[in-house]
Structure 1
Amino acid sequence: MKEVFSSIQKGYVIELCTTSSKEELQEAIYESLSHCNVELLDEIPKLTSLEQHLCIKGWKKATKDKKCVSILLNPDGFSISPMNKHPRYGYLGSDEIDIHLNVEDAMVSNNLARAVIQAINLSSL
């Protein structure tokens, strides 16, 4: 089950249940990536899309008990990295763990979703 929330003020947020299938996750990732960096902002918003979506003021409160992964797409393909939460610095990536997939391999058998799940499992709070 997925819900899509979109507005100029909120940004684009797709919320999935923890019981969502790999197919739903794969679809949500591609859908989210298609909405990334499509709008130039005149100024930095006071609240992030996550804070606005959760109706919580403050990044620290909005990310409490939440893991984070980084998904980057470049000409060589995808780079998926688990992030580790540090009390003073927020989320930091690890240079030691990166999952790389070329675009073609990412599309086969929901491999991109599988890599994201693996990165979530390797992330820490």
Structure 2
Amino acid sequence: MSTSTAEALSIGLLALVLLCAVVRPWGWPEAVVAVPAAGLVIATGAISPAHAADEAERLGPVIGFLAAVLVLAQLCDDEGLFRACGAWMARASAGSPRRLLAQVFVAASVVTA
């Protein structure tokens, strides 16, 4: 496969993965599309397996941290924490959209920190 064809395929697959991440067809997780797309990019020679391994090693700690955050967020959601916080902020805002936005911003900042 030529370099330009491999690059075009890579860009197309990236667009597909991003679209599926936003739309979430059939409720599938992003990995259902992203992992095969990554394999296809490697299989077509757009990037070498060695380069992919180097990038995965370099990004490993970040990927591990994001995975842990996603698991923690899922557990919080399962326990109803986000629903409870949303209900509390809605009551505390007393119908003021600006107050609600400020509360959401503060809560997101605290959780992120």
Q: TM-score, normalised by structure 1?
A: 0.28
Greater relative contact order (CA < 8 Å, ≥ 6 in sequence): 1
Structure in which a larger fraction of residues adopt helix: 2
Q: Which has the larger radius of gyration?
A: 2
Q: TM-score, normalised by structure 2?
A: 0.30
